[in-house]
Amino acid sequence: MNYNKINNLLGWLCAVVATLVYVVTAERTASWWDCGEFIASAYKMQIVHQPGAPLFLMIQNIFSNMAMGDKSQIAFWMNVGSAVSSGLTILFLFWSITALGRKIFLGNADLSHTLNPTQTIVVMGAGLVGALGYAFTDTFWYSAVESEVYAMSSLCTAVVFWAILKWEVRANEEGADRWLILIAYVMGLSIGVHLLNLLVIPAIALVVYFRKTKEVTKGGAFKAFLIGVVILGFILWGVIQYLIKFAAFTDLLFVNSLGLGFGTGVAFFALLVVGGLVFGIWYSIKKVKPILNIALVSLGFIIFGYSSFTMITIRAKADPTLNNSDPDNVFTFLSYLNREQYGDEPLFKGKYFDAKPTDAFDAGNVYRKDNDKYVVARKKTNYTYDRETVFPRIYSDRAEHASFYRQYLGLGPEEQPTFSDNLKFFFGYQIGHMYFRYFMWNFVGRQNDVQGHGSVLEGNWISGIKPIDNTFVGGQSNLSESEKSNPSRNTYFFLPLIIGLIGAYWHFGKNQRDALVVMLLFFFTGLAIVLYLNQNPLQPRERDYAYAGSFYAFSIWIGLGVIAIWDFVSKKVNAKSAAIGVTALGLLAAPVLFASQNWDDHNRSEKLLSRDMAQNYLESCAPNAILFSYGDNDTYPLWYLQEVEGIRTDVRVVNLSLLSSDWYMRQMMKKVNDADALPINIDPEKIKDGVRDVIYYYDYNIPGNIEVSDALQVMLSDDAENKMQTQSGESVNILPTKNLKLNIDKQAVLANNAVPTMFKDSIADSLSFVYPMGYVSRAELSVLSVLANNNWKRPIYFTTTTPQQYYLGLDKYLISEGFALRLIPVDTKVQDAEQGAIQDTDSVYDKIMNKYKWGNIGNAKYLDPDTYRYLTFYLSSIFGETAQNLLNDGKKKEAHNVVMKAYDNLPKRIFQMSEAMSYIPLLDAMYQTGESAKAKEIALRNLSYIKDNMQYFEGNQYIKDISAERNVRLALVGMQRIKMLAEQYKDADVKKASDELWKKYGYFFGEE
């Protein structure tokens, strides 16, 4: 048996199988979160959010060409790019497992030594079980089917770990150190994808030490480990950050002191670095210093790989549509690399969340490029606090975070946290909830896909073994049918975990050195990330993708677990038969089990809602509109749709969370695609970095409401008379009153068709509103300027998901036109006393019937939480409200059309208890339009869901949980409303079912 041929053949077989599965299950368009931004930026070579991923974007741009000009297929082909990267990751994982397995039998013998047939079978079996097992794990599979950086980052990690094992076998051969150069180059390249790959360095340092030292000692191993950590730190800070920092301050010297042009100092510093490396390499060769030589050559290749970031500055200077942070000079580029817009989390020392600042001190300058010099835009400020601690874990003073800390730790409203509380949060939440739970998801099983921030209802880990789950997961008795049939409920019965633990234990017994290397890989790509990220609570989504490298390392032990079990079984039965049998059982217990359990909730080929929601947002807007959005999921998919598919490029999408930045505000003053610049009539010099970063409100007791333009004049004035003196003597702009108004030019309103026909006689003389915040950032300044200068020429909209405070107090002047709220010069609260925006029903009806798309949510076998959380809005605000308004207008036929559109396109199940309440307007419309049978079907289905889950909640005492109790109450209010509908429309079956539920659960409302 030719070991190398079999190893190569089976490795590629694993890669092909994994890649085919990923391609089949890949999303057919842009996914939620960052994917829309990445696809749009890769397609046109634009700049993504900090710290960028230039190599990823360039490679994905290559995959975009596979669409052969079909723009609707570009997103899919970029998803295929991730699928291919992930398939190659499985290839290198297979080869890494077989390399470690071979060492068990042959040590570091050269390649002329080979395994016997039985050993070959069991080693290949280990590779198959470990590699294919990892291929179908929850976290890795999720990242493999979307255009995000983590698939390609995993590939870099896999290549580097495989390469060090290749070097280890060849370490005594001439030219073997070329493998180390390859590792350095891949690491340099990986910086242009994601930094996770660098965490392999401490493990690599140990491999080199074990292979090169003549006598291994604990002290020597620890020293090698420390050297690895130092190298990791040197690359993370010395190469990635300080090279650019030194270049920046060299440029500062050349520009400000020597009077040379921008970039001359950067060029000089680059030549200095290259010259220093060349001289050092020449010196190492001349003086025969091999260690110095390999170190300098490796550093050169790391920097060479890192040079992919030149794409960022080159494209930033071209000023593309998406130009996040505008890093067109060395100081903005430095800020971009350092992720300064996201702030820093304390690692070694910091405050408690309830600490009060006691002093402020200067922490350095922030420089801005101005005309022909760099100037100090502002000072960085750090603070000392009255209560600080080492190893701070409960540090965030945001109100919602402080509330969560107190709830999680059981602290009273005024009770001060202690260091033990700090450790409790670290071990319980950061490790237990934000790492160990994810680890168990992947190798034991998952309860569901609900994200509840510590709620008992969320996706905890389960095994499928009832007594164990009752003990560790808060009870799983009386499991509801919806929970049993939930596609995201995956149970592995501890089998992969047990095999992996056996493999780890056996590996330490057989080859402690290699086991220690794998353990370091496991630790640094898992728990070390927990320590470094120091995450605060209430993350907007699950973060398990960050720990994929740790699960990769554990999958190595799953593979080696096959050899461990064979080692035991072969002593009892024929060794060759044991090898075949153990491999077969291993394949069933890991890859087959993973694939069978995970397929339904990882098959994203039917998901379309991210793209279709983006189109619905855009189609809700009139031509040449301005659409204000806020979050990732109501911005990035819109960027994708406009930049890639070219849909509704006349709409100017404005992300309010970015608009507080000077670079983004400047970009909004320029025409993009078919969308005109925002009418922000503000001199860019007045809002550049360090100038009016924030303007605070100070009440001057001005009577009545002042015109928005007058308020802007005060806030933008450079006249000392319009500024306020602070206690430090600084003269600052202020907002002198919150009572504002916008006078209305009715002729302009009518000429621009700025109001629906039904409101043409209700146009107000002015919009009077109370500004809701105590400060004005560039975002609010921009919106106010748009109001003052637009004069109703362009329609202004807010996405329905925009937080209410960003309406700036204009809530009563907003009208619903579907998925967006339009600002009109009419006090709609006078027209409609009900809470929420009044609807332009005719407009919404036309869009429902002719323009909106529904993301295949009615036919898809699985909907993820990012998708089904929109269902309540679909049910109540789109279908239900529209149908009710049409009925109120006497348009029964049109209402029936809406009802049928809803029935045909909505899922035939509900996903959460609170949905029952959202169905009420639609059910009522169904009864009124003669669709009683369909209303009965949905009502009985929803009541059955409520009954089933109430038994489940009661049986597990979930109703005592705060978030669960809220869901229960909403569901039971829905049940009560269904009961009332059944009585009103004389539906005996629905009434009977709702009466039974009311009789049992009416006690929630104080009734027997």
Question: 490 pLDDT exceeds 60?
Answer: yes
149 Cβ contact list (under 8 Å, min separation 6) = 38, 53, 56, 193, 194
The two three-digit tokens of residue 633, written as one number: 């999921």
Q: Among 103-107, 342-346, 454-458, which stretch is predicted with the lowest mean pLDDT?
A: 454-458
CA-nearest of 818, 865, 801, 846 to 609 is 865
DSSP annotation of 811? G
| CA pseudo-torsion sign 176, 179, 180, 185 | positive
On whether the CB atoms of residues 446 and 462 are closer than 8 A, the answer is yes
Q: Give the torsion through C-alpha atoms of 749, 755, 758, 759, to 10 deg.
A: -60
Predicted confidence at residue 459, as pLDDT, reads: 78
Write down the pLDDT at residue 831: 52
Higher pLDDT, 471 or 435: 435
Which of the listed ranges 63-72, 354-363, 952-961 does the model predict with the highest average pLDDT? 63-72
Percent of the chain with pLDDT over 90: 77
Mean pLDDT of the 797-812 span = 93
Residue 834: pLDDT band (50, 70, 90) is very low
Query: Does a cis peptide bond (omega within 30 degrees of 0) precede residue 51?
Result: yes
Where do the structural domains in the chain lie, given as residue ranges?
3-312+494-602, 344-417, 870-1008
Residue 947 has pLDDT above 80, yes or no: yes
832 vs 289, more confident = 289
Report CA-CA distances (Å) from 476 to 469, 490, 491, 597. 6, 14, 13, 19
pTM of the model: 0.93
How many angstroms separate the CA atoms of 427 and 421, rounded? 10
- What integer pLDDT is reported at residue 541 of this predicted model? 86
Share above pLDDT 70 across residues of the chain, in percent, rounded to a whole number: 96
DSSP state of 153: H
Average pLDDT rounded to a whole number, residues 75-95:
97
Q: Give me the pLDDT at residue 833, please.
A: 40
- List pLDDT tens digits, range 684-701: 999 999 999 999 999 988
Average pLDDT value for residue range 734-759: 92
The pLDDT assigned to 475 comes to 57
What is the Cα–Cα distance from 692 to 37, expressed in whole angstroms? 29
Q: What's the Cα-to-Cα distance from 171 to each of 175, 212, 224, 656, 684, rounded to whole Å?
A: 9, 8, 17, 56, 60
Q: Residue 151: is its pLDDT beyond 80? A: yes
pLDDT tens figures, 842-900: 999 999 999 999 999 999 999 998 898 899 899 989 999 999 999 999 999 999 999 99
Q: Chain-centre distance of CA 708, in angstroms? A: 37
Tens digit of each residue's pLDDT (9 = 90 or more) over 409-427: 999 998 999 999 999 999 9
- Least confident window among 540-544, 658-662, 773-777: 540-544
Q: Return the bridge partners of 696, or none.
A: 734, 775
Paired tokens of 982: 């059944």
Q: Is the pLDDT of residue 355 over 80?
A: yes
